[in-house]
Structure 1
Amino acid sequence: MQNKELATQAPKGKEGDTSLIEASLIDVAGFVSQDQLIAALDKVKAAKEKALEINTELNEVIAKYARNKRK
């Protein structure tokens, strides 16, 4: 959920990325309910990587924006 909070502070365009992660997690629930645990694990790993990527990018953009705003 931290990425959603960060996306509200960042320039527009990152909301869609967090929505994709949420959709992936819904897919995971479907895989688990069908006992497709390896597929669920793969999907969770991919979602985690994307979330970490977004988090890093958002933190960098917010820090850069804050520095530029102070000037």
Structure 2
Amino acid sequence: MAGLFILVQKDLREQMRNSQLLIAVVMGVFFGILSPLTARYMPELIAFLGADQGMEIILPEPGVIDALQQFVSNLSQIG
């Protein structure tokens, strides 16, 4: 267990020196803000893009669960 603590400490120190931790936090905040916005405006975007071809796509009203699911899927894509 002491070896794990030493490795985590080393990795955190290395990430602080290389600004990797800052980049990871900024990406997390970016996707955290983007996910609810995407869930909110997706029906309007799809309606706007499909209006030229006469298509009508009916989507349910987005909710908190939808935004959370998108956020978790974005985090899993990052790694």
Q: Give TM-score scaled by structure 2 length.
A: 0.35
Structure with the bigger percentage of helix: 1
Rg larger in 1 or in 2? 2
Q: Give TM-score scaled by structure 1 length.
A: 0.38
